[in-house]
Amino acid sequence: MYDDYDPEEWAERVEMFAEPGGNSALRRASKSNPRNLPCPTCQTPNVLTPADRARGYQCNRCADRDEGLSFPC
């Protein structure tokens, strides 16, 4: 199963995400991929990058709620 594990490839993939190892699928912000777009669900500004929008993502809070991962305050 791990015979073709490539540490460099894994490191590259981990660097793509805003929260590596977390449950967020949002991409890391950068100069070429700024976090400057609103969530399409709740309209919170500056929570998505262009890469997130291209994948049809919403903010972590909305995604967690929709997946039943929200916890009461």
Q: What is the pLDDT of residues 14-35, one digit of tens each?
A: 778 888 777 888 999 999 999 9
The pLDDT, as a whole number, for residue 70 is 63
Residue 59 — very low, low, confident or very high, per pLDDT cuts 50/70/90?
A: very high
Q: What are the structure tokens assigned to 58, written together?
A: 């919403």
DSSP conformation class of 3: T
- For the whole model, what pTM was predicted? 0.74
| CB distance 17 to 26 below 8 Å | yes
Confidence of residue 72 (pLDDT cuts 50, 70, 90): low
Rg (Cα) of the chain, in Å, rounded? 14
Pairwise pLDDT comparison (12 vs 46), residue with the higher score: 46
